[in-house]
Each structure stands twice: as structure tokens, then as C-alpha cells.
Amino acid sequence: MSIPTLVVEDVVIKFAGDSGDGMQLTGSQFTNNTALIGNDLSTFPDFPAEIRAPQGTVPGVSGYQLHFSSNRIYTPGDNCDVLVAMNAAALKVNLKTLKPGGIIITDISGFDTKNLRLANYTDGVNPLEDGSLEGYEVHKIDITKLTREALKDIQLGVKEKDRAKNMFVLGFLYWLYNRDLTSTFSFLHDKFGKKADILESNIKALQSGYNYADTVEAFSSRYKVEKAKLPPGKYRSITGNTALTFGLIAAAENSALPLFLGSYPITPASDILHDLSKYKNFGVRTFQAEDEIAAITSAIGAAYGGSLGITTTSGPGMALKTEAMGLAVMLEIPLLIINIQRGGPSTGLPTKTEQSDLLQAYYGRNGECPMPVISASTPSDCFDAVYEAVRIAVQHMTPVIFLSDGYIANGAEPWRYPSSEDLKPIKVNFKKGMAADEGKFMPYQRDENLVRPWAVPGTPGLEHRIGGLEKEDITGNISYDAENHQHMVKVREAKVDMIANHIPLQTLDSGPETGDVLVLGWGSTYGSIKSAVRELQGQGLAVAHAHLRHLRPFPANLGTMLGNYKKILIPEINNGQLIKIIRDKYLVDAVGYNKIKGVPITRTELVTAVKALI
Amino acid sequence: MSDVLTPQGPALTAKDFATDQEVRWCPGCGDYSILKQVQTILPQTGIPRENIVIISGIGCSSRFPYYMNTYGMHSIHGRATAIASGLKATRPELSVWIVTGDGDGLSIGGNHTIHLLRRNFNVNILLFNNQIYGLTKGQYSPTSEENKITKSTPMGSIDHPFNPLALALGADATFIARSMDRDPKHLQQMLLHANDHHGTSLLEIYQNCNIFNDGAFEIFTEKSSRQEETLMLEQGKPLIYGANKDKGIVLDGYKPKLVDLNNGHSANDLWIHDDHDFYKAQILTRFFDNPATVGHFPRPFGVFYATERATYEDEMQLQLEEAIAVKGKGNLDALLQGKETWVIE
Ligand SMILES: Cc1ncc(C[n+]2csc(CCOP(=O)(O)OP(=O)(O)O)c2C)c(N)n1
Ligand code: SF4
Ligand SMILES: [Mg+2]
């Protein structure tokens, strides 16, 4: 019999289960499959800090939210249409985000007395039985039993078989959304190719889930989301940390600088270390240092030797690197310090997102210690933004701080990837030696942008000494002279300020050039702001959106732009940081919208916040 | 001296390694001698000046690079070792020297020091040990003896000191040696040995801080006591010391024993120094007792231990070459495209 297929525009699915249930893998597989059919998409993985939080409990719930559409979308969605809840705790945590009438797919084995108790349901209460889910379309499936049944001929223990439950669910959803299983088959072959039993069990479970949905006629229709109307081009799906890795490699190739990464593992930055260490055939050197101080200082050593020196970390690691950043500022050598922000302070919320290290990036060092700060706004933007950060570092001989966060680091979206020819080469000028009439080498002689020469060891005639003590301008010799110190402080600041002449002017992402409200954002709030502002514009409101990539220095026209609106709203996932800088620098009475809950700001919240200002 | 011209021009002399910067150590400081010996041996190594990099941390000793006409970096407290690691990883052809103090290299930078040793980058560490914090005006350091009265320890220090060479062996150092500022010839020899070693060379140099810890090593350097209190290690030679060369050391099982050569023992019975023997080196590093105790061992100077082990930068280079051999040279377009793509028309 044939079940009709309905075409829908927009779907949000939340995969939720125990952290051992493989929901991240299920989510990322569905995402890849979605990308391949050409939908626009946005994801939000959200998982506990513990590798194995107490099983079955509310803190142990791991979720992966996927939003896909035939329209342009910019967020993982405020609410979901489909909730996969592998156990009672997963339902409890996520039910509030399910739209009225939404679909719930549950594994009833995850709702036994033990699981209900672990999820803190009152004794005797089972949400699947007590009618509390009446407003939803609930599919109660014994996924555990069905998976075991499907795998009964495979010689594996029950525990191993149960691990394939997530594939059963994936198959079930693939049927519901009319999907082809091939991409996941080939993924499974790559992942488990050498373990025949596990490979077979996963493939069987996937197929059984698909067939089960087909046979039981659980749904009266299947759904289909058409290709999105994205700008023409070649696309792939990409997460923020992968885009960042690619951006670094591309920048190294296009500047002809060998890449050196000094890093110490920390969530959510470790993936960049993992990823970069795979690309040794690009001449990439990765060094897992003994701590964050050695990570940054080894990168300083590499940069001093003429490599593209990079260090990657998250908040607590940034704190450890601060003294060395000061050294890099004094040495005036190129260096990239990448902070994938997470909830703080201290160890804080390792797996949750936050934008709370901006003031640290701006001011968090001893002495007057200015450094350019650049941020990425979406997963794919990490590529372009980090490429730009490298350009600034090597062309302006300065350490640069790059800010991403957990949300964009792990989130995925379609990426119209460039070809190598589209990328502007990054010109690097090493000082090659001394001309006959040049006299003695002056390591702190500056060009018109106040940039000093990059003179690397091994170059005859340029032997010189540099260090963290205050130095005399031009000669670079140690100097404790009062006038010289004031001069040098001002020069180092002016050098960073002058970068504003070499970056694009700020543009509006959308909206009128003058109006009631300008929503000014930076970093991962991009998607939420964009969607909210679009909605408000649709309602005829004079609201615009500008999103900053360059946080220090700001684009030269930012002050003028801020003057063109009655109100400035600055939404941030922190307690108000960019707003302090903007108020200080431009004396505007900006208003903040601050959410510090370890999760992104939603479109709905922002719509309300903007309306309150009009 | 060689009369062959190097491509860099005429052979260099110690003077070529001096800079125009005024040397600012206190008059009489042991650092002067160390600077002089380094400037003296570098021309003998034949390494072009531009390929030499001296990296230091913070401390009196760490001012060293400013006085050397090579590439140099006076960095931050304790981190010279880590900076040198990054430089050497990316520029294996450079001759990298680390200058550090007992506070710089064993206190704030202790962690980096042990990790550098185990990784075995081919660099030379010159550990200026004056058993005091000189630059900060005289606090006790991690190598100060127990009960040391200093500004920060008016009732005497209560922490037990490090034994730097034993610590280094514990971190699997591939070259450890000890010398002193007051024995220029010996120091020059040790510097040359350190330079010749392929791997991390740790050279501990007893350095007198005549302002805050004067005479800390007097017993090893003064004519009156030196021959009784020091044991000069020479490869393949028996362990003999004393003003009359009549004292020796034998190994009784794994226990060292002092013997009197006038009294029933001959040089043939003695422990023969073998700097490739890890176990003997471990025992030698433990000749570290207080010279005031009766029956104490003399303090050894020389190369304690030297062994070959692959260096980090060589292994890193091999991995890059292997990756290229297996996967081919990286192709940016293939990387950006990945495996799964789709087209929007
Ligand atoms: C982060 C930091 N902490 C403290 C200091 C102060 N400080 C400078 S040198 C030094 C100790 C130096 O002792 P040592 O390494 O033995 O060198 P010496 O002066 O004896 O040659 C200290 C504590 C500093 N410069 N930086
Ligand atoms: S304080 Fe001591 S170590 Fe420092 S320069 Fe003076 S004598 Fe030398
Ligand atoms: Mg000292």
C-alpha cells in the first residue's frame, strides 16, 4: 500500500537519550543525510560534561537538535516538531520545547519503573500512560526489544546489540522523511569496517528501523523537505571546528608558512588539535604540550622561527596563557590564539556555550597590552574569519585572539566551500638580509603601518635580541626611559588601531540604514538575531542587524552606524561584555539582552526583547 | 685554529660573539665567566652565528642573550624551555641554547624542563645554579640547602632541595653534566660536549652569586679544599680524587664505597667511569651529600651520562615525510571539498 508523502518546508527534530545512547551520532548522521539532499540546516548538539553521567538521570541526557528546511534558516530552531526520547529523563528534559501536536517517538523500555524513578517521576506515574501527552502524537515503540530481535542471529552480547538501538531509530526516521540509507551505510563501513559483527548489527538495525516504520503503518503520511533555495554553488556540511581547521590550513598554504600548533586538550577546543594532527601531509606540525603555557610559548618559539604559530584552547586555558600573550605583544610577532569559549568562570560549564571571554580577550593581561580580536558568527564563518585572523597576524606582526564558542564549534550547517583560487593569497614579508647601505639591523624599525620586520634566525646579518623587557623603539635595546615607555605604549596601541584601515567597513546584515532599533551582535548569536530581525522586518518594523567580526579594532564606520538608530540592542550569551566596550568607546546608551544559561538565545526571546524597545 | 675560510668569511673569534650592550651583572658575578667560556667555544663549533639562537627565561642569568651576538630571546620566567621546543620543532637545523637559572628552570619552569628532557629535543640547557634567586634579591631557591636563612626564610628554609641531575635522569635525560664558573677549562670542555650531543644536553653550572649567596660552592672551587671535595669524571678512567690522588671509589654491589689507595687498594679495583652506564650515572648523581658530614662523597663534575635516543624534532619530521609518502602531498581543494557534497543550481 502506498502512504502519501507530504511536502513540508521546515522541520526541527530533537534526538534525546542517555549519554550512552549514541544520540550525537544519530543526529550527525541524519544531518549529513539532510545536507546531501540539499536542505538548508542548522544543528545544536548539547551534551553533558561527563563521558558517562549517571545512566538514566536528567543530568545524563544528551541531545542533538537538527533544523532543516527548503528555506534559508539560521538557527537550530526554538521548538521542535519531532522529539525522539530514548528514556524517561530525555522526555522530561525536552518536552517543554516540543511544539503542540508534535511527534514523540519513544523507546518504551526506557520508561520502566527504574528509568521513571531515575528521571524523578513521582512513584506510579508514567507519562506514556497517564494521558499527560494527549496533545501530542506519541509513538510508543519497544525499540530495545525490536533491535534485539532483529539482531538475534548475530553473535554479540546483549549490551553490544543494545548499542545499535540508535540505528533502529535512525532507520525509522529515515523512512518518515523519505531518505536514502546509502550515506549511513558508507559511514558505517568506514567506521566499523574492521569489526564485521558490529558493522552488521548496525546495518541490520538501521534497516529494521526503516522496515518497521514501513510495515506497521504508524504514520498516515511521510514527509519530504525540498532542496533549499541556497545561492548556487557546490556545498558540503561543516561544523565550526572543522571549518576553523580548514581555514588554518588554507591560510598556511596561501601564506607559504609552515603551520605549527601548540595545544593542550580542553573541551570544546580539542577537536581542532585532533583534526590538525591528521593533516601532516600538509606539513602541519602539532605539538601536544604539557600545559597551556607551554602550548602558547612553543607557538611563540615557532613563530619566532618563521612558522605560522597557533595555539588553541578554551577559557581556563586562556587564563593560563595571558602572560605569554603579553610577551608576544612585546615581541611583536605573529601568533594566533584561538579560544573556543565555554561557560565560566573556572572550570564552569565545559560542554555548554557562552560568550563570556570577550572582556578577557580585550583587557585580560597585565600592562597596556592591546591585541586584535576577531570572532566567528556561524560554523562555516569560522573558515573565513580565521583566515582573516591569520592575515592580520602576519601582516601586522601581532598576536591575534580568535573567539569562537561551543555552539558554533560543534554546530553544523551547509557550506558553499571555496576553491583554492577564490582565496586571496596572504603576503608575508620576511626580512631577507641587509642591503649594503643599510647599516645595522634595527629590529623595531617600523613601516607606515607601524609594523616591524619579521627577521628569523638563520638569516645572516640580522642577528638581534628581543625580549619581554621594555625596549627602545627602533633599536629594540632594553630601555627603562620614561619617555620611551610612554611612546612605546602608544605605538603598540596605535599599531593595533591602524588595523582598522585594513579591514572592511561594517555593513548591515539586514534592515534600513536608519531606524528604530539596531541589533548589534557578535559571535554565535548571529543566527538568532538574523531570524528575529527578519521576522520583525516582516512586521514592518524599522529594525536592522549588524554583526561584528572585527571586535578590536572595530571597523572605522561603526560609530556613525550606531548613531543612525534610536536604540541599540546588544544580545549576548554573557552578563554584558560587548555592551561595556561599545558604551565606553562610543558613549551610546545601548541596551543589553543577556542570557547566561549555557544555551543559545532563541529567536522568540529576541523578538520580544526588540519589541520592548519600540 | 683552522685556516680554511668558511662560506661566512674568516673564522670567527670570541669577540665576534660579543655585543655592544653593557654587561650589567654585579662585579664578581660568576655569570661573567660563563659568558666568556660560551663566547670562547662557539667559534670552535664552526656553527655560523646566524644559526645560533639563545633563549632565556627571567633572572640574572637570563640576561645572557643580550650579551651574545647571535639570535636571542629573553622571554618570560620559566618558559625558555617551551619556547625553544617550538623553535626546534620547526627549525631543526638551528643550534638552540637555553639559558636558565635554578629558579627559572627548576621552580616556575620545572614542569617544562622535565618535559623537554623526556622529549629529547636536540638543544643545550645551561642551568646556572647559584642556589638562590638573584634577580629578586636573595630569596632561597629550589636548590638552596635546608635551613637556609634568606629574606623569605628568616628562621631557615624548611623545604628539601632538588638534586637537579638526579631529577633530570628521572626525566630520562640523554645527557647530563656538571661544571663550575671557576674552572674555565672544564667549563669549556663541558660546553663542547653538550654541543656535540644529539639530544637534550643538560649542563648544570655551579655559579657563584657573590651578592646573595657568596661562597655557596667555595668548597669545590677553592684551592684549599677543591681536590678533596671534587671528583673529576673522565670517560674510561677510575674514580680517583684527593690532593695526593690517593682516594678512590669502588662499587660494592650497587653501593659506592670510598677507599684509600695507600691502604690495600689499587687503581685497578676502582670504579671505571662509563658515561653510557645509566645505573652508574644514577649512583653518581646521588653523590650529593653535605660536605660537612663525616665520610661524605666528593661532588662529581664532568659528563655523568650520555646516551643516544631519537630526538623529538627528527621523529616529527619523519612523521611528516611518512604522511606525504602514504597520502601524497596535501591538496587544499580536495580537503575543502571532502567526501560528500551537493550542488545547488
Ligand atoms: C611570572 C613571574 N614571577 C616572578 C617573577 C620574579 N622573578 C624574576 S627572576 C626570579 C627568580 C630568579 O631566580 P633564578 O632563576 O635562580 O635566576 P638568578 O637570578 O638566580 O640567575 C623571580 C622570582 C617574574 N619575573 N615573573
Ligand atoms: S645578584 Fe648575584 S647572580 Fe645576580 S648579577 Fe649579582 S652576583 Fe650575579
Ligand atoms: Mg638562581
Chain B residue numbers touching A281 (CB-CB < 8 A): 320, 323-324, 326-330
The residues facing A569 across adjacent strands are A519, A591
Query: In this complex, do A36 and B342 lie within 8 Å of one another by their Cβ atoms?
Result: yes
Instruction: Give the cell for residue A482.
Output: 620614561
Q: Which of B22, B24, B26 to mutate to test the pocket of ligand 2 (most atoms within 8 A of CB)?
A: B26
Q: Which domain holds residue B146?
A: 14-216
Backbone angles phi, psi at B36, to 5 degrees: -65, -40
Query: In this complex, do B70 and A299 lie within 8 Å of one another by their Cβ atoms?
Result: no
pLDDT of residue B5: 35
Say whether residue A367 is in contact with chain B using an 8 A CB cutoff: no
pLDDT of residue A70: 95
Does the beta carbon of B128 sit less than 6 angstroms from any atom of ligand 2?
no
The reply to whether B319 falls in a domain is no
Domain with residue B152: its CATH number is: 3.40.50.970
Which of B45-49, B165-169, B287-291, B296-300 shows the lowest mean pLDDT across its residues? B287-291
- Give the closest residue (by CA) to ligand 1 atom 5: B77
pLDDT of residue A47: 85
The reply to whether B290 falls in a domain is no
* A289 three-state secondary structure: coil
Query: In this complex, do B79 and A461 lie within 8 Å of one another by their Cβ atoms?
Result: no
- Taking CA A501 as the corner, what is the angle to CA A495 and CA A503, rounded to the nearest 5 degrees? 105
The reply to whether B49 falls in a domain is yes
CA atoms within 13 A of residue B2's CA, in its CB half-sphere = 11
> Which of B116, B177, B136 is closest to B307 using CA atoms?
B177
DSSP letter at A520?
E
pLDDT at A1 over 80: no
pLDDT of residue A324: 98
Q: Which of residues 171-210 of A touch B (CB under 8 A)?
A: 183
Strands (E), B155-254: 175-180, 201-206, 230-232, 240-241, 247-252
Does the beta carbon of B34 sit less than 6 angstroms from any atom of ligand 2?
no
Q: Output the average pLDDT for chain B.
A: 95
Residue A523's region, left for phi above 0, alpha for psi from -120 to 50, else beta, is: left
pLDDT of residue A218: 80
pLDDT of residue B291: 86
Residue A568, min C-alpha distance to chain B (Å)? 37
Q: What are the distances in angstroms from CA A153 to CA A189, A199, B23, B304?
A: 20, 14, 82, 65
Does the beta carbon of B130 sit less than 6 angstroms from any atom of ligand 2?
yes
Cα A45 to Cα A598: distance, rounded to the nearest angstrom: 12
Chain A residue numbers touching B68 (CB-CB < 8 A): 465
* pLDDT, tens digit (0-9, with 9 covering 90-100), for A380-397: 999 999 999 999 999 999
Query: In this complex, do B342 and A466 lie within 8 Å of one another by their Cβ atoms?
Result: no
- Give the closest residue (by CA) to ligand 1 atom 24: B77
CA B136 to chain centre: 22
* pLDDT, tens digit (0-9, with 9 covering 90-100), for A557-597: 999 999 999 999 999 999 999 999 999 999 999 999 999 99
Cα B64 to Cα B54: distance, rounded to the nearest angstrom: 8
Question: If you count residue pairs, one on A and one on B, with CB atoms under 8 Å apart, how many are there?
Answer: 204
pLDDT at B6 over 80: no
Does the beta carbon of B134 sit less than 6 angstroms from any atom of ligand 2?
yes
Place of cell 646556572: B128
B183 and B232 in contact (C-beta within 8 Å)? no
Mean pLDDT computed over B122-146: 98
The residues facing A139 across adjacent strands are A105
- Give the closest residue (by CA) to ligand 1 atom 10: B59
Which ligand has the nearest atom to the CA of B129?
Answer: 3
* pLDDT, tens digit (0-9, with 9 covering 90-100), for A396-437: 999 999 999 999 999 999 999 999 999 999 999 999 999 988
Closest-CA residue of chain B to A275:
B335
Tell me the helices (H) and strands (E) count for chain A, helix number first: 20, 22
Q: Which of A281, A282, A460 sits opposite B8 (nearest CB)?
A: A460
Question: Residue B73: which residues within 8 A CB-CB, separation 6 or more?
Answer: A304, A331, A465, A466, A467, B53, B54, B55, B56, B65, B80, B83
CB burial of residue A91 (10 Å; 0-12, 13-18, 19+)? buried
Instruction: Give the cell for residue A566.
Output: 534610536
Residue B15, min C-alpha distance to chain A (Å)? 15
Backbone angles phi, psi at A23, to 5 degrees: -70, -30
Say whether residue A227 is in contact with chain B using an 8 A CB cutoff: yes
pLDDT at A317 over 60: yes
DSSP codes, A454-493: B--TT-TT---EEESS-B-TBT--B---HHHHHHHHHHHH
* pLDDT, tens digit (0-9, with 9 covering 90-100), for A504-546: 999 999 999 999 999 999 999 999 999 999 999 999 999 999 9
Contacts 24+ apart (CB under 8 A), B134-138: B134/B59, B134/B60, B134/B61, B134/B101, B134/B209, B134/B211, B134/B212, B134/B213, B135/B58, B135/B59, B135/B60, B135/B62, B137/B212, B138/B211, B138/B212, B138/B213
Structural domain tally of chain B?
Answer: 1
pLDDT of residue A52: 72
C-alpha of residue B151 to centroid of ligand 2, in Å: 16
pLDDT of residue B9: 60
Q: How confident is the model at residue B96 (pLDDT cuts 50, 70, 90)?
A: very high
DSSP letter at A585?
H
Do you find a cis peptide bond into A268, omega within 30 degrees of 0? yes
B20 and B167 in contact (C-beta within 8 Å)? no
* pLDDT, tens digit (0-9, with 9 covering 90-100), for A435-454: 988 889 999 999 999 999 99
B180 and B301 in contact (C-beta within 8 Å)? yes
CA A246 to chain centre: 14
DSSP letter at B104?
I
Say whether residue A431 is in contact with chain B using an 8 A CB cutoff: no
Distance between start and end Cα atoms, chain B: 75
Mean pLDDT computed over A467-488: 97
Say whether residue A300 is in contact with chain B using an 8 A CB cutoff: yes
β A222-225/A5-8 pair status: parallel
Does the beta carbon of B103 sit less than 6 angstroms from any atom of ligand 1?
yes
CA A561 to chain centre: 28
The reply to whether B58 falls in a domain is yes
ipTM of the complex: 0.96
pLDDT of residue A20: 86
pLDDT of residue B2: 36
pLDDT of residue B3: 38
Which of A36-50, A106-120, A498-512, B143-157 shows the lowest mean pLDDT across its residues? A36-50
B/e letters for B262-273, b = 16+ CB within 10 Å, e = fewer, are eeebeeeebbeb
Query: In this complex, do A468 and B74 lie within 8 Å of one another by their Cβ atoms?
Result: yes
Question: Residue A1: which residues within 8 A CB-CB, separation 6 or more?
Answer: A217
Do you find a cis peptide bond into B10, omega within 30 degrees of 0? no
Q: What are the distances in angstroms from CA B323 to CA A287, B91, B283?
A: 16, 19, 42
Say whether residue A475 is in contact with chain B using an 8 A CB cutoff: no
Mean pLDDT computed over B307-332: 98
The reply to whether B308 falls in a domain is no
The reply to whether B45 falls in a domain is yes
Mean pLDDT computed over B100-105: 98
The reply to whether B289 falls in a domain is no
Q: Which domains does chain A have, with CATH numbers?
A: 5-225 (3.40.920.10), 236-422 (3.40.50.970), 429-503 (no CATH), 515-611 (3.40.50.920)
C-alpha of residue B97 to centroid of ligand 2, in Å: 21
* A566 three-state secondary structure: strand
Mean pLDDT is highest, among A123-132, A213-222, A547-556, for A547-556
Instruction: Give the cell for residue B344.
Output: 545547488
* pLDDT, tens digit (0-9, with 9 covering 90-100), for B192-239: 999 999 999 999 999 999 999 999 999 999 999 999 999 999 999 999
* pLDDT, tens digit (0-9, with 9 covering 90-100), for A370-381: 999 999 999 999
Say whether residue A37 is in contact with chain B using an 8 A CB cutoff: yes
Instruction: Give the cell for residue A608.
Output: 520580544
Q: How confident is the model at residue B267 (pLDDT cuts 50, 70, 90)?
A: confident
* pLDDT, tens digit (0-9, with 9 covering 90-100), for A73-126: 999 999 999 999 999 999 999 999 999 999 999 999 999 999 999 999 999 999
pLDDT of residue A193: 87
The reply to whether B324 falls in a domain is no
Does the beta carbon of B25 sit less than 6 angstroms from any atom of ligand 2?
yes
